[in-house]
Amino acid sequence: MSTINDKVFTPGKIGPIEIKNRTIRASAYEGMADGHTPTRQLIDYHTSVARGGIGMTSVAYAAVTKSGLSFHRQLWMREEIIPQLRELTDSIHQGGAKACVQLGHCGNMSHRRYCGCRPVGASGGFNLYSPTVVHGLKKDEIEQIVKDFGNAVRIARKGGFDAVEIHAGHGYLISQFLSPYTNHRKDEFGGSLENRMRFMDMVMKEVMEAAGDDIAVLVKTNTRDGFKGGMEVDDCIKVAKRLQELGAHCLVLSGGFVSKAPMYVMKGRMPMRTLWGYMPWKSLWWLKIGIALAGKLLIKNEPFQEAFFYDDAIKFREALDMPLAFVGGLNSVESINKVMEAGFDFIQMARPLVYDPEFVNKLRDGKVTKSGCQHANYCVARIWNYDMQCHEHCQVARFQKKELERNIRKG
């Protein structure tokens, strides 16, 4: 039986905080925030992960302002939910883990139904995801969103979070400014990479000021966008170096572009029938029709392998002198050891902890060497089935095809 690298279960520092080991629950969207507010469901899930041995658990994809919402059950950081945030973080702390919240703005990846306005982006145009006409942000609007990021950090502090993770990847708003695919601006925010980084620079300066000396700041950034015409590794390393200069305490090295290369983010196949079956007609009829007609063209499968960002991420390890967290396909002792031995400081996992919130404790105690998760992505395909506990989603992957189809018909 393989033995896990001793470093995994040693304390690690991220800026002003120390976590008990090198494991972090990756910020994968839970869909557990009714009214954009933490629910008992969200609290129970993250508490179960905390009790399962994780060093820090990350609450996913919280919008910094209403225009940044892309889902009905997505967290939205605002003053009135601070008591519920405090209940969430208190429970995580009692479970033995640090608490992080991922902060972001979805940019053009939204719809008026969710964000309450015409979706905004680095540039105007038409977004097939909604589908909707997108409003290119004006300078005063950019400045307001920058302030919203800082305000969200201050709310996170009041809510008891130890850390924030700024989402600068996956084709959301900061990434939309960075990528030439979505940034066609002719002003100081467009054109050269230096200009395209300007919005990120402004956000990070605001975030670091708001974080002060007691909140750790992680940034999720792409190693590449994952398609021709997007950001490639060399430019993404320049972005990472800028983030280091701006004071980020740790980078989370991811990749992909949800609106263009969604499966590059997580790899594997998308169970299209399951995705279609749980997508509601009333609120997403346009997307449901699109999936039915051209789902395989819109969402292309990507081969899954463990530690799938490794070949790109190792170039960032060589180029940077700062803590780095590896995310993507860490499913076994073998892949975890490979990453730790290459000099990465932290490991992030999501799907293995959806499959079993106790996975980290079981790794520590030598009870398992590999997650039972098959990365079949039924948990992702059932994102619209709001009644299920997140850690139950993966059980769908155990069903036979006929049983899956029968379950879908039942709704």
Residues marked active site are found at 172
Tokens of 311: 């070949």
The dihedrals phi and psi of 220, each to the nearest 5 degrees, come to -90, 120
Cis preceding linkage at 131, omega within 30: yes
Q: Which residues contact 84 (CB under 8 A, 6 or more apart)?
A: 37, 38
Angle CA 7–11–17, to nearest 5: 140
Q: Which residues contact 288 (CB under 8 A, 6 or more apart)?
A: 276, 279, 280, 281
Determine contact, residues 224/218, Cβ cutoff 8 Å. no
Angle CA 207–211–216, to nearest 5: 105
Q: Tokens 């994952």 map to which residue?
A: 226
Tokens of 246: 């701006």
Tokens of 370: 């590999």
Tell me the residue length of the chain.
411
- Catalogue the E-assigned strands of 216-296: 216-222, 250-254
- Catalogue the E-assigned strands of 223-378: 250-254, 324-327, 346-349
The dihedrals phi and psi of 66, each to the nearest 5 degrees, come to -60, -35
CA–CA gap between residue 286 and residue 118 (Å, rounded)? 16
CA–CA gap between residue 64 and residue 103 (Å, rounded)? 6
Determine contact, residues 288/315, Cβ cutoff 8 Å. no
CA–CA gap between residue 390 and residue 294 (Å, rounded)? 28
